[in-house]
Amino acid sequence: AQSVTQPDIHITVSEGASLELRCNYSYGATPYLFWYVQSPGQGLQLLLKYFSGDTLVQGIKGFEAEFKRSQSSFNLRKPSVHWSDAAEYFCAVGAVQAGTALIFGKGTTLSVSS
Amino acid sequence: DSGVTQTPKHLITATGQRVTLRCSPRSGDLSVYWYQQSLDQGLQFLIQYYNGEERAKGNILERFSAQQFPDLHSELNLSSLELGDSALYFCASSSPSGASSVAEQYFGPGTRLTVT
């Protein structure tokens, strides 16, 4: 069965420091991969997606992610974190066999310290 | 603003009751998905509709049902509510190239259901 693992439940980063959020997936075929962000009391906003092609994908708000098939990973990165980036981040995989629904990881909460 | 709207924003009801959550997808999106977000289970897929037809079911309880209407809005009906049904319910919509294609999903703001 398809699954997504986000190993870090909570990460604290200093403002201006770089960020990497980890995501590992388990899926038999070529995955469709997504990162979403959820601010407190808000819905989920799509940051970026990977369907095929270039394994380094750029998203909104200065985020990027790299797909590594050999490691079954899709880690999210940002070179310099801003206080407004504090939120919960979800990695998800699209599963055609599940009717194209998204399977989400448990999420990583990002705190930004000044 | 994702373009997906959900009503109501908050809902407080008692155990045993029935509620209906409503979702309007982005203009032109044919697929609607319902997800439940709770602290212990995380984000769980419930059910998907594509152009009025049920396409897939996830971890949806028999007490829950949904439908998508000709104007593509969708409703999620929750009955015989239990305390454990308290959660945030999200609707998402997408515009896949076909009924079996994966596409990015756009999420509404959610309905927070509290069962007392």
pLDDT tens, position by position, A70-100: 999 999 999 999 999 999 999 999 866 555 7
Check: CB of residue B66 under 8 Å from CB of residue B77. Answer: yes
Neighbour-count burial of A108, counting CB atoms closer than 10 A to its CB (0-12 exposed, 13-18 middle, 19+ buried): buried
pLDDT of residue A1: 74
Minimal CA separation from B52 to chain A, in Å: 14
Closest to B23 (Cα-Cα) out of A99, A93, A37, A43: A43
Give the residues of chain B that fall short of pLDDT 70: 97-100
pLDDT of residue A73: 95
Q: What does each C-alpha distance from B89 to A6, A41, A43, A65, A111 come to in angstroms?
A: 22, 12, 10, 28, 25
pLDDT of residue A100: 74
Minimal CA separation from B96 to chain A, in Å: 9
| Residues of B whose CB is below 8 A from A104 | 42-43
Name every residue whose Cβ is closer than 8 Å to that of residue B12 and which is 6 or more positions away in sequence. Answer: B114, B116
Rounded Cα–Cα distance for residues B4 and A45 (Å): 11
pLDDT of residue B100: 63
The B-side interface with A (CB below 8 A) comprises 2, 4, 31, 33, 42-43, 45, 48, 55-58, 90, 92, 94, 96, 100-110
Check: CB of residue B77 under 8 Å from CB of residue B65. Answer: yes
Residue type, A12: T
Taking an 8 Å cut-off on Cβ atoms, the answer to whether A36 and B107 are in contact is: yes
pLDDT of residue A46: 95
pLDDT of residue B3: 92
Two tokens, residue A70: 């050999």
Give the residues of chain A that fall short of pLDDT 70: 95-99
pLDDT of residue A95: 67
Residue in B closest to A47 by C-alpha? B104
pLDDT of residue A42: 85
pLDDT of residue A97: 58
How many Cα atoms occupy the beta-carbon half-sphere of B4 within 13 Å?
A: 29
What phi and psi, each to the nearest 5 degrees, are found at residue A79? -70, -30
Name residue, tokens 């049904």. B85
Residue in B closest to A50 by C-alpha? B104
Rounded Cα–Cα distance for residues B32 and B26 (Å): 9
Q: Is A100 left (phi over 0), alpha (psi -120 to 50) or beta?
A: left
Query: Could you say which of B2, B96, B101 has the minimum Cβ distance to residue A43?
Result: B2
